[in-house]
Amino acid sequence: MSTRSGQRLSTEERAGLGSILELDLAGASLDEYEAHLPEILSWIREIDCDQQDLQVVALYEHTLRTAARLRSGLGLAGMSPEQVERCRDKVAMVRAVESHAPVVSTFPVDESTDAGAVVNWLHECGAGRVILKPRDGAASLGVVEFASVDAFRSGVAAGFTEELEVQPFIEKPICHLDGLIRDGVVTFLSVSRFVGDNLLYHRDRIPMGSAVMDRDAHRMGLDFASRVLTGLGVEDSAFHIEAFFEGTGFRMLEAAVRVGGINIQPHLRRVFEVDLTAEAFLAQCQEPSRLDGPVLACDRVPGSSGWLLVPRAEDEPCVVTDAQSPPDTGEFVLTADVFEPGRVLARQGVGVDAAAAFVLAAPGGDTEVVAAAVHRLAQQVKVSYRRLEEGSDGRD
């Protein structure tokens, strides 16, 4: 696994292993591991252990394909390259799921695609805004939003240079469904509605969060998630599904066979005492689940809960000069992690670091109460920075 994957494991998980080989490669490309597959395979074969004690684990999106191909090359059990491909290539994903659950329509494009055909399709869909994104992307990286079909036509007039997908923007609440499936049965599910927008968080540095939805949404979500995972052929994995809520059900935007990112895991651990990272690790190692308790998150803790992330606003190396959070964080805040003045930050790489992260809960409240608290808190947190000159350590 990569070092970052290893860091996700608790001390207990790491202690139960004979040894861990952590593989790190330079570069920010999501395909970096894939390009070095032969070398990694050679390194793994040098591990001194019985084949039955060996497993390849991937806890991040960009290592799923490589881990599956390594398992295949080594003859190890686990998710196959074909299964992973359905969960990485968003066009293949939609085609696998569309006969099992509602999906957002998508148009695959590459160098040979006629942009006019895509424009005609968008008009047939009644599209307003248009989304263009990588077929195998993650975390909103590489996503481009066009204000209209005409803007899209102008933007792609020169054609397409890689494999992408086009989707009409849907003006409905975006939700994330996070959970665990073992032996083909969903054993835990949390259904939340985003407060804010993942794309705006990464592109425009606007805070985002989410709030847990009610029992009706969870019950609909359980049926929906089960159908999505059946279509993908996934039986043992953590999962993160993003979908639009249409009042009477969900429509899949995309799905991933990994633990949800951003602040999802701290929220699930703190509020529901569910460690999906540990469960994902156990599933990939074909070990029994340690999870117990109700399947639906709403049945574990009453009311609603959620989280907030305030993005770092400065990309270049800098030092935090001031950080202000509310003098009284209020009854809703369970945990708060805010950059402290004097903290030196390196140049920001892939993704956007959070300058502040909060977990909130309202045992007597509902989704709207938590969403309002997320909005209010986002406006109150202020972090200031000073750029560092080359060679400075931030102490001057």
CATH number of 174-387: 3.30.470.20
Predicted pLDDT of residue 2: 52
CA neighbor of 1 nearest in space, from 280, 275, 269? 280
Three-state DSSP at 106 gives coil
How many helices (H) and strands (E) in the chain? Answer: 14, 15
Predicted pLDDT of residue 138: 66
Predicted pLDDT of residue 329: 53
CATH topology of domain 105-168: Dna Ligase; domain 1 (3.30.1490)
pLDDT digits (tens, 9 = 90+) for 287-304: 999 999 999 999 999 899
What is the rounded distance in angstroms from the CA atom of residue 22 to the CA atom of residue 29? 18
Residues (pLDDT < 70) of the chain are: 1-31, 48-52, 138-140, 327-331, 349-352, 391-396
- List every span in the chain annotated with CATH 3.30.1490.20: 105-168
Give pTM, 2 decimals: 0.88
- List every span in the chain annotated with CATH 3.30.470.20: 174-387
Q: Tokens representing 23?
A: 């593989």
Predicted pLDDT of residue 389: 78
Three-state DSSP at 12 gives helix
Predicted pLDDT of residue 118: 93
